[in-house]
Amino acid sequence: MANKNLQELPKFEDNWSYLYFEKGKIDQYQKSIAFHYLEKSVPIPIETITLLMLGPGTTITHEAIKRISESRSLVAWTGEMGVRFYSAGYTGTYSARNLLKQVEVFSSPLRRDIAVRKMYQMRFDVVLEPTFSIEQIRGKEGARVRNFYKTYSEKVGVEWKSRSYDQNQWDYSDPLNRALSAANACLYGIVHAAILSSGFSPGIGFVHTGKQLSFVYDIADLYKTEISIPLAFDVVKESSFDVERRVRFLCRDYFKAAKLMKRIIPDIKEIIYGSDINAEGEDFPEGRDVAISY
């Protein structure tokens, strides 16, 4: 039944990834919408767009929002260059089946533990010890990511200090941190669109908790060491000029070339519906404490 439900969803992977606009107006245009700036009008084939990112200085009409809603495209209001994700509209399926399954997994300590371990395995290709707590898993995850930063820094010859920046003093952050934030913001937008398109909740996370985009961060983490971190380093290696804009374009091209859209929803499905495996606990090693404190 799960397979059938996912197949009935909009063909998320067949769409383009996203478009970003700023300093202009979006309005209805024929049977779709268009972006107007200066004296120009750029038609937007909204039926083929999964995510429409609206940056500063962008206005949009009621009729345009109606067209976007009918196409089930996600419209998101972001900061400059898509670096911050402020808000998003409604999109996706009308069925609550996947949402209810996500809640079921979250509510069961055993199923939730399976989901956390599955994400770690998908990310690092490592099976965790059965006795590890969520705190230990987070610690091991953090150590692996820090080691990846160090290793990739040495590989490409770009100095790496730490993941640190002040959103209130953005221009004073080093180019690499700005590039990383821009790349991650683009990745979050695509993942957010996938989650909403498939009827899951972006706020019900398993490793990340307590935030409105916790599940977005969970899923995006699956791809950071493959996509956003290397792309950010590569952009800065080439030049420290205009890194946010350049990394955003590079992400867009990479998402399309790597067909990331075709991977996200099946990965989400594997995490959520895969938690039914051994759900009764009969095949787990003796002595395993499944009542993990989150």
> Mean pLDDT of all residues in the chain?
82
CA–CA dist 270, 254 (Å, integer): 23
Q: Based on the domain organization, do 206 and 227 belong to the same domain?
A: yes
**What confidence score (pLDDT) does residue 201 get?**
94
- Note whether residue 282 is domain-resident: no
Give the start-end residues of each E strand in the chain.
16-21, 24-29, 32-37, 40-44, 49-54, 58-60, 74-78, 85-88
CATH of the domain at 26: 3.100.10.20
Work out how many domains the chain is built from and give that number: 2
Q: Based on the domain organization, do 136 and 267 belong to the same domain?
A: yes
Query: Average pLDDT for residues 35-54, to the nearest whole number?
Result: 87
Q: Phi, psi at residue 139, to the nearest 5°? A: -65, -45
- Residue 117 makes CB contacts below 8 A (sequence gap 6+) with 127, 128, 137
Judge contact between 201 and 211, C-beta under 8 A: no
Q: Based on the domain organization, do 156 and 22 belong to the same domain?
A: no
> Which residue(s) pair with 24 in the sheet?
58
User: Domain of 168?
Assistant: 97-276
Q: Based on the domain organization, do 253 and 185 belong to the same domain?
A: yes
Q: Based on the domain organization, do 79 and 50 belong to the same domain?
A: yes
Q: Based on the domain organization, do 188 and 110 belong to the same domain?
A: yes
- Note whether residue 294 is domain-resident: no
Give all strands of the β-sheet with 24-29 in edge-to-edge order: 40-44, 32-37, 24-29, 58-60
Q: Whole-prediction pTM value?
A: 0.75
Query: What region, left, alpha or beta, does residue 157 occupy, with left being phi > 0 and alpha being psi -120 to 50 degrees?
Result: left
pLDDT at 135 over 60: yes
CATH of the domain at 152: 1.20.120.920
- Residue 93 makes CB contacts below 8 A (sequence gap 6+) with 8, 9, 10, 197, 198, 199
Closest CA to 246 of 231, 258, 260: 231
3-class SS at 64? helix
Q: Based on the domain organization, do 156 and 46 belong to the same domain?
A: no
Q: Give the tens place of pLDDT for each residue, 94-106.
A: 678 999 999 999 9
CA–CA dist 214, 77 (Å, integer): 18
Q: Give the tens place of pLDDT for each residue, 221-239.
A: 999 999 999 999 999 999 9
- Note whether residue 288 is domain-resident: no
Q: Based on the domain organization, do 68 and 32 belong to the same domain?
A: yes
pLDDT at 83 over 60: no
Q: Based on the domain organization, do 215 and 251 belong to the same domain?
A: yes
Looking at 88, 110, 127, which one is the last position of a domain? 88
